[in-house]
Amino acid sequence: MKLTRRDFAAGIVAGLAAPHVITSARAQGATIKIGMCAPVTGPAAESGRYAIQGAKLALEAVNKAGGILGKQAELIIEDDQTTNPGIVLAFSKLASQSDIVGFLGSIRSTQVHAMAPDVLKLGKPVMIGGTDPNLTHMGNQWLFRFRPNDSYSGRVIAEYGVNTLGKKKWAVLHSTDAFGTAGGKALTAALEKLGCPSVLDQGYANQSQDFTPVVLAIKQSGADILGSYFTFENDLGIFARQLRQLGVNIPWVGSPSIVNITALKLAGPALYNTYGVADYAEDSSEASKAFGKLYRDAVKVAPDNQSSWPYDAVTVLAAAINKAGSTDPAKIREAILLIKKFPGAEGEYNFDQNGDGLHGYNIVKNDKGKIVFDKHIEFND
């Protein structure tokens, strides 16, 4: 066969056009893709597994109900290694796939901060679980939060401790990462507003092996109540045991990690009779109960916030795309912000212009290892 000049030119054109045609075909592919950065390895690998399960359960429900824009939805997972460089790498891998229409980021504020500049550059919606209030207040319009931020948790912890438990002398303990620092600040600010400035504001570094100096500082401060923001369950478990061993038995109201499954398993009786603010409490609403049953049946583990927020994130993102009738990022963003009174596992979503979907917390008590719902405190500002 003789290759003519025309055949050669046609070949070159076909070769140049092929990648575009393939990309375009992929973009209009059989599925709608959602990217998820999750800690498959590293210290948070266990909670990462719960997060993936939560997202997958939501995806199944979405697909059963007809999918997104008439197509089946697909989850693309990248390991964030529980580190900041890890999540930046994971997100860049996902972002390079142009057919991914929306993403799930991290539950850890420090990781969301690390990936935030790339999110802004990409300009596609990213659902997050990090609770540092700054995340939705730093001009990044593509971050949407599926847990109440720490300005609410701090206020709820303070209000419950001061007004319900009647305690005024507070020791505030927090990790020194973005989550813990923001949480600690929110709590101390809320306590000051209530006229009870903390007697001890103590930070600690993650992955500490010993908390004796911290426990002794709490003891010496004369505090009659403890408020805490722990990032990792290992730390919380070690601290809880040392706190009780060294004879500190003051009431303790903690951030959501105090009631998560891993913490309960590790600390055991050392966490009995503690209180926690919980964005997910199984008995707090019908939607929460329904998610709890679905999760237990599928995963055979009690549900917690690690799995509930990705469940809600996928559900809301799918609903928003369907409502927008398009995968155009700006239209999805608009549709998310218009979501009001949406019943989720975490609570009722009413998105504000900052991208915060929830504005209140539940208070729960550890009753001999069983987490019991006490009450929900909602704020309107």
Partner 1 sequence: MDLVLQLLFTGIGIGAVYALVALGFVLIFRATNVVNFAQGEFSMVAAYLMVVFSVDLGWPYWLSFLIALGGMALLGVIFNLGVYYPLRHRTFLPVIIATIGASILLSNSVLAIYGPQPQVLQGWFDTPGIQLGPVYLDSQYLLIIAVTIALVFFNYWFFEKTLLGKKLQATSQDKEMASLLGISVSTMIMITFIYSAVLGGLAGLLVAPVLFVSIQMGSTIALKAFAATIIGGFGDVAGAIIGGLALGVIETFGAAYISVPYKDGFAFLVLVAFLIFRPQGIFGERVAEKA
The one among 49, 71, 168, 169 contacting partner 1 by CB under 8 A:
49
| HSE of 353, CA atoms in CB hemisphere, 13 A | 2
Rounded to an integer, what distance in angstroms lies between the CA atom of residue 181 and that of residue 247?
Answer: 27
- Closer CB to partner 1, residue 46 or residue 348? 46
Query: Please, are residues 86 and 79 in contact by the beta-carbon 8 Å criterion?
Result: yes
Q: Measured from the CB of residue 80, what is the shortest distance to partner 1 in angstroms?
A: 13
Indicate if the alpha-carbon torsion angle 168, 182, 311, 142 is positive or negative: positive
Cβ proximity to partner 1, 81 vs 284, nearer residue = 81
Segment near partner 1 (CB under 8 A); pick from 27-35, 45-53, 291-299, 308-316: 45-53
Taking CB under 8 A as the binding criterion, the range among 15-23, 30-38, 58-66, 232-240 that sits at the site for partner 1 is: 232-240
Indicate whether 208 belongs to the interface with partner 1 (CB under 8 A): yes
Q: Which of 4, 28, 96, 209 binds partner 1 (CB under 8 A)?
A: 209
Nearer to partner 1, 10 or 205 (CB): 205
DSSP-derived secondary structure for 252-273: EEE-GGGGSHHHHHHHGGGGTT
Q: Does the CA dihedral 160-165-171-173 come out positive or negative? A: negative
Binds partner 1 by CB under 8 A, chosen from 11, 166, 268, 369: 268
**Pick from 213, 222, 325, 369: which binds partner 1 (CB under 8 A)?**
213
Looking at 5-13, 115-123, 209-217, 343-351, which segment touches partner 1 (CB under 8 A)? 209-217
**Shortest Cβ distance from residue 265 to partner 1 (Å)?**
7
Size of interface with partner 1, in residues (CB under 8 A) = 34
Distances (CA, A) of 89 to 37, 144, 169: 10, 20, 44
User: Which of 250, 266, 302, 339 lies at the binding interface for partner 1 (CB under 8 A)?
Assistant: 266
Q: Give the C-alpha distances (Å, rounded to integers) separating 342 from 12, 98, 319, 349.
A: 53, 29, 10, 5
Nearest to 374 by CA among 273, 306, 299, 270: 273
Enumerate residues 6+ apart whose C-beta is below 8 A from 330: none
How far apart CA 254 and CA 258 sit, in angstroms, is: 6
Among 328, 353, 375, 360, which Cα is nearest to 131's? 360
- Given candidates 12, 25, 27, 41, which one binds partner 1 under the rule CB under 8 A? 41
By CB under 8 A, tell whether 221 contacts partner 1: no
Nearest approach, Cβ of 141 to partner 1 (angstroms)? Answer: 33
Find out whether 297 and 312 touch, Cβ atoms under 8 Å: no
For partner 1, which residue of 14, 216, 290, 330 counts as binding (CB under 8 A)? 216
Cβ neighbors of 348 (< 8 A, separation 6 or more) are 285, 341, 342, 358
Is 207 near partner 1 (CB under 8 A)?
A: yes
Backbone torsions φ then ψ of 36, nearest 5 degrees: -140, 125
Residue 46: CB minimum distance to partner 1, A: 5
Interaction residues for partner 1, span 177-206 (CB under 8 A)? 202-205
Which tokens go with 373?
Answer: 């719902």
Name which position in 223, 238, 287, 335 contacts partner 1 (CB under 8 A): 238
Tokens at 77, concatenated: 């997972």
| Cα 210–Cα 215–Cα 217 angle in degrees, nearest 5 | 120
Q: Which positions from 60 through 99 interact with partner 1, judged by CB under 8 A?
A: none
Q: Are 366 and 276 in contact (CB under 8 A)?
A: yes
Which residue among 133, 154, 237, 357 contacts partner 1 (CB under 8 A)? 237
Residue (176 or 350) nearer to partner 1, CB:
176
Does the footprint of partner 1 cover residue 43 (CB under 8 A)? yes
Is 220 near partner 1 (CB under 8 A)? yes
Q: How far is the CB of 372 from partner 1 (least distance, A)?
A: 23
Sign of CA dihedral 94, 101, 72, 28: negative
Binding site for partner 1 (CB under 8 A): 41-43, 45-46, 48-49, 176, 202-205, 207-210, 212-214, 216-217, 220, 233-234, 237-238, 241, 245-247, 262, 265-266, 268
